[in-house]
Amino acid sequence: MKVKSIYRAALMLGLTAFSATSLEGADVDPRTDDEARQVNVVNNFASSVRVFALDANGRLHALGIVARGQFKALEISNEIAEMGAIQIKVYPNQPGRSLMSNTQAIKTRQIHLQSEQTVTVWLKMDLSASTVEIRQG
């Protein structure tokens, strides 16, 4: 009986020590770059979506996946944004299907994102009723 309580105390001390060391190095603010550009996605669509940035050279860069009912801030690297105009594309997450064959998608016009600008995409159940907003700071 006494051995169990010693093991339990050792386990609790170990968990406490692990928690303290893991929290020390945690990065709380994801926007460490003064010139960060981001895409905010509010997904009210029926499924998860994949978000991409199409750069000025026609290359598609995956920014992330946003689950149904989720809000997510996705970072656009300065390398991509400084290449020139980009286009934000949002596709329903359908593994195994080509993005080019997907008729349901949100595509913005060409955008020249300045420093600290954000693009907010409000996805609705009917993707054609979704809205895109560009804001400074």
Of 133, 127, 121, whose CA–CA distance to 40 is shortest?
Answer: 121
| Domain range enclosing 76 | 37-136
Task: Please give the Cα distance from 76 to 109 (Å, whole number).
Answer: 16
pTM comes to 0.69
Instruction: Report how many domains make up the chain.
Output: 1
Q: Assess if residue 98 is contained within a domain.
A: yes
Digit-coded pLDDT (tens) for 23-74: 343 344 444 445 568 899 999 999 999 999 999 899 999 999 999 999 999 9
Task: Please give the Cα distance from 124 to 45 (Å, whole number).
Answer: 5
Q: Assess if residue 111 is contained within a domain.
A: yes
Task: Please give the Cα distance from 68 to 47 (Å, whole number).
Answer: 5
Q: Assess if residue 81 is contained within a domain.
A: yes
The answer to whether 131 touches 108, Cβ cutoff 8 Å, is: no
Q: Assess if residue 43 is contained within a domain.
A: yes
> Whole-number mean pLDDT of the chain?
77
Task: Please give the Cα distance from 88 to 111 (Å, whole number).
Answer: 8
Amino acid of residue 16: T
